[in-house]
Amino acid sequence: MDFIKKLQKKPEREKKIILWSVLIAVGLIFLLLWVYISQKSIRELKTEDVLEQMNLPPKEDIPKIREPVEEDLKELEELMNQLEQEDVQ
């Protein structure tokens, strides 16, 4: 309690300096803890486990993307023209 009374008697400027110093110190502690825990978690990760948890489909089940052919481009152009005509009306 004595500390709080001393703090209350200090000028406003000193109170703000103390406040920001404490906030920065606490923030740095949290940052260091976060970095430490993150590094530890990353080191413990196993690639196989991550891939299993992601539940990815087998490569064979993923459809192949084909290159657009001229017919596709013409169809797309027609659709765009239709949309432009609808916007005009």
pLDDT at 89: 66
pLDDT at 60: 74
User: Could you tell me the sign of the dihedral formed by the alpha carbons of 7, 8, 11, 12, in that order?
Assistant: positive
The whole-number mean pLDDT for each consecutive block of 10 residues of the chain, a chain of 89 residues, reads: 89 96 98 95 77 76 76 88 83
pLDDT at 54: 80
Boundaries of domain holding 52: 2-88
From CA 49, how far away is CA 65, in angstroms rounded?
29
pLDDT at 52: 76
From CA 16, how far away is CA 20, in angstroms rounded?
6
pLDDT at 33: 98
| CA-closest candidate to residue 7, choices 15, 19, 25 | 15
Report the domain count for the chain: 1
pLDDT at 21: 97
